[in-house]
Every structure is written in structure tokens, then in C-alpha cells.
Amino acid sequence: MIDATQVLALTAALFFGLALVLTQFGLRYRLPIQGAAISIPASTLLFVAAAPAIIDFGQWDWRAALIFAAVGCLYPAAVTVLTFQSNRQVGPNVAGAVGNLAPVFAVAFAAVMLGAPPRWLDVGGIAVIVFGVTLMFTGPGARRGAWSRWALLAPLGAALIRGIIQPGVKIGLETWPDPFAAAFISYIVSATVVLVLSVWRDPIGTFSGDRRGFGWFAAVGFCNGIAVLTMYAALARGDVAAVAPLVASYPVATLAFSALLLGHVTLSRRLVLGVAITVAGVVVMLAAKGA
């Protein structure tokens, strides 16, 4: 039976997938760094508004807070910019497929940082999910367009950072088990980072331009905020090896929302097989929890 940790991880995957697709609309009006300067602060404002009612500041832990702040220097700041850039260059589906390598990095770093080597069933589930998503968006029938292999560096870098921060957040949550506080602190730092970078690069463009871009990126920020919060909540309850692969199934959600909102997904045998294999990998991970 699916438990709360798995529901939270899959909810994170759902909202990460939706955010990737909505980003396509925002990028029609804003550059990636400008979009990040809208989406992350928008999420941060929601966290700040809700913090007094949700966070017990009497339980404040400086060690954990510093860990969450250090995470915020990279996540979601750097990951958001890299994801927007890769989305612009290769589209949401390929960006999602390459980003699916995050659980491999996450589990590897968790084994080193937390001394928590994965079980064989976890390894099997990760392998199946990675293979399934890769199958969905690669091969002879894949639409590559005009981008080169160098364009894959952005989503690969985002996957690496996601892999690093998950065990890092887990360490902080072991000291202060408050996922909302973790998201609250990391988002404040990330919002500061992206605003400084955006203003430094383009002080006028950061706060001007087509207003439609503001709306789309605010929606992206809302989705990413929910995704990060539910992922942190899952990490507070479960192991990195159990959470990361389920979160990494978000390309299935990306594909579904692409078909619904963008309308340019063509079903093929390879695509259907990739979805089936990815879902099978998720089932393996769910079974691993109860094994």
C-alpha cells in the first residue's frame, strides 16, 4: 500500500512536470534568468506569508538553518536557471529525460554523505525508471531539432545539483525535521541570488517587458514551490534512495501535460513502451518500500 512518503514524492513529480511545461509559455516572453527572477521570488512570497502560521520558530536550529541556506545558494536558484535554459534549448521533454539522472546522483551522494547505501531493489527501480524515461525521448524517432549535444550540459548540471542537495537537505531535516522551514530558508536565499544576478546582468529587463511573462513564471514558481515543499516533506519521512527515484518520474507528468497544454506529443511504440517501463520502475520503488 502506498504510504505518505510515496504520495508526497509522486506529488512533487507531478508539479515538477507541470512546471516544466508552463515554462514553455513563459519563455515566449522572458529570458531564463529573467523568468527565474520572477518564479522564485513569487514562491518565496508565499512561503514568507505562511511562515508565521506554520513554522515553530521556538524550535529554530542554527545548524540546520545554515544547511538549508547553503542548499538555497544552488537550489532552487541555479537549478531553475539551468532548467529554464535547457527548456528553451531542447524543450521540456528532453530536459526532463536528462534531468531523470538526478536519482543516480542523489543515491550516490547519500551513500557517501549519509552512509546509506541503497538496497538492490532500490537500485533496480532506479535503473528501470532511468531506462524508461530515456527510452521515451531518445532513439531514431526522437525530435532533436537544431540543438547540439552541448545543450544537454544545462539539464545534466541541473540533475547533478538536484542529486547533491537531496542528501544535504536530509542531513538538515534530521536535526530540524521541518520541511516547510527548509523550503522557507532555501527559497529566501535563492530569491536573493537570482534577483542579484538578474539585476546585475539586465537591471532594466528584470522588471520590465511583457506582463504575460510575469503571470506564466509566477505560475511556474507556484508549481515548483509545491514540488519542493512536498519533496522536502518526503525526505523528512523517508530515505533518499526511496524518494529521489519517485520524484524523478516527473517526465511522465511532463509528457502528459505537454500533450494537454502544448498539443505536440505524437504517440509512438517507443514512447508508449518508455512510459510503461517508467511506471513499472515506480511500482518497483513502491514495492521496495514494503520489502
Number of domains in the chain: 1
Instruction: Say whether pLDDT at 84 is over 90.
Output: no
The pLDDT, as a whole number, for residue 25 is 93
What's the pLDDT at 268? 73
Tell me: pLDDT of 226 over 80. yes
pLDDT reading at 191 higher than 90: yes
CA 282 from centre of chain: 17
More confident residue, 23 or 93: 23
Q: Greater confidence, 130 or 206? A: 130
User: Closest by alpha carbon to 245, among 124, 74, 112?
Assistant: 124
* Three-class SS of 224-280: HHHHHHHHHHHHHHCCHHHHHHHHCCHHHHHHHHHHHHHCCCCCCHHHHHHHHHHHH
Q: How much is the pLDDT for 158? A: 87
Q: What is the pLDDT of residue 128?
A: 83
**Tens digit of each residue's pLDDT (9 = 90 or more) over 1-54:** 678 999 999 999 999 999 989 998 998 988 888 899 999 999 999 999 999 999
Domain with 141 in it: 4-290
Q: Which three cell numbers stand for residue 247?
A: 520524484
**Per-residue confidence at 150, pLDDT binned at 50, 70, 90?**
low
Mean pLDDT of all residues in 96-120: 78
Mean residue pLDDT across the chain? 84
Q: What's the helix, strand, coil split of the chain in %, to 5? A: 80, 0, 20
C-alpha separations of 146 from 89, 96, 150, 196 in Å: 9, 18, 12, 32
For the chain, how far is it from start to end, CA to CA, in angstroms?
A: 11
The three cell numbers of residue 289 are 518500500
Q: Which of 78-87, 176-185, 251-260 has the highest mean pLDDT?
A: 176-185
pLDDT higher than 60, residue 140: no
Distances (CA, A) of 28 to 145, 198, 209, 273, 282: 18, 18, 11, 32, 33
DSSP codes, 29-50: TS-HHHHHHHHHHHHHHHHHHH
**CA distance to 67, 108, 272, per residue, from 38 (Å):** 24, 33, 35
Mean pLDDT, range 82-88, rounded to an integer = 80
Q: Which residues, in sequence order, are CB contacts of 266 under 8 Å at separation 6+?
A: none
Of residues 262 and 167, the one with the higher pLDDT is: 167
Decide: helix, strand or coil at residue 106: helix
Predicted confidence (pLDDT) at residue 120 exceeds the cutoff of 90: no
pLDDT score for 146: 47
Band of the pLDDT at 104, cuts 50, 70, 90? Answer: confident
pLDDT at 116 over 80: no
pLDDT given for residue 62 in this prediction: 96
pLDDT in tens, 242-271: 898 888 888 788 888 988 898 766 667 777
| DSSP output for 51-64 | HHHH--GGG--HHH
> What would the grid cell of residue 82 be?
539551468
- Mean pLDDT for 77-93 is 80
Is the bond preceding residue 76 a cis peptide, omega within 30 degrees?
A: yes
Q: What whole-number distance in Å separates Cα of residue 148 and Cα of residue 138?
A: 14
CB 209 within 8 A of CB 29: yes
- What are the start-end ranges of the H helices in 55-119? 62-72, 77-99, 102-113
Q: Please give the model's pTM, rounded to 2 decimal places.
A: 0.83
In 138-257, where does DSSP find H-type helix?
Answer: 153-175, 179-201, 211-237, 240-247, 250-257
